[in-house]
Structure 1
Amino acid sequence: MDTNLVIIGIIHSDITDLATAPKMENEPGAVRARIELDPAYKIGLDAMEIGAQLELFTWLHKGDRTTLKVHPRGDLTQPQRGVFSTRSPSRPNPIGLHRVTLVAIEEPLTLVVEPLEVLDGTPVIDIKTKPKGY
């Protein structure tokens, strides 16, 4: 049984600072981003349509893996909550889930998506699609 996590791509984004990054895709500051996919996964894009809704799974590599409680959205005036009831990148296994729209597919094997709230250089570990208009 293979239990290794595989990085299938890297996100290129204008967001470079964790402290000021938006916490969700529908907050101000989420941007259009590019996902440079490993060419080995090109066949996995078969039948993907522009305008499709995608769910990206990312490895939020700058999250603190020892954190179990956070202030929601980093707001210190709110009481701390367990990380499993938040979208914080700080958690035991920092897997992010992001809902985006596919805007373009460019060569060499790059997906252009929006809106996305993750840092530049964030690894992508999986992509799920929903049909256009879903």
Structure 2
Amino acid sequence: MDFDKNLNMYFHKDEFIFAHDPEKKCKSGDIVLVKELPERLTRLITHSIQEIIYPLGDITDPITGKKVVVGKYRDEIEHTNKLYGKSDKSFSYEKAPPRGRLEGTRDFTHGETYIKYHEDGKDQPFAV
């Protein structure tokens, strides 16, 4: 959050960090620990990924050790579902396919992505 002294208001400010992940161990949505590189790897890449803190969907409260979903513990959600009945449309962790089930399939993640600086009319499937 940035504070504007003239308007006396806070404005949300996003910051994008491009990090190097040579082993491709991260997936979209993971919470990771990044470390600034001593010198830039490329024009955009200024950090490297140290470790995955929490994989997507597997956030654990460090104090209690319980699984967390948004702002509630998973066991509290299950208890509420038992009291009031579970919706047919609700998400089930038991029925959900395992994360990484599409690993090894050929989608657009198998190719190196690059930033598209121009439109030349050619097909550019890996451009960002």
Per the normalisation by structure 1, the TM-score is 0.21
Instruction: State which structure, 1 or 2, has the greater radius of gyration over its C-alpha atoms.
Output: 2
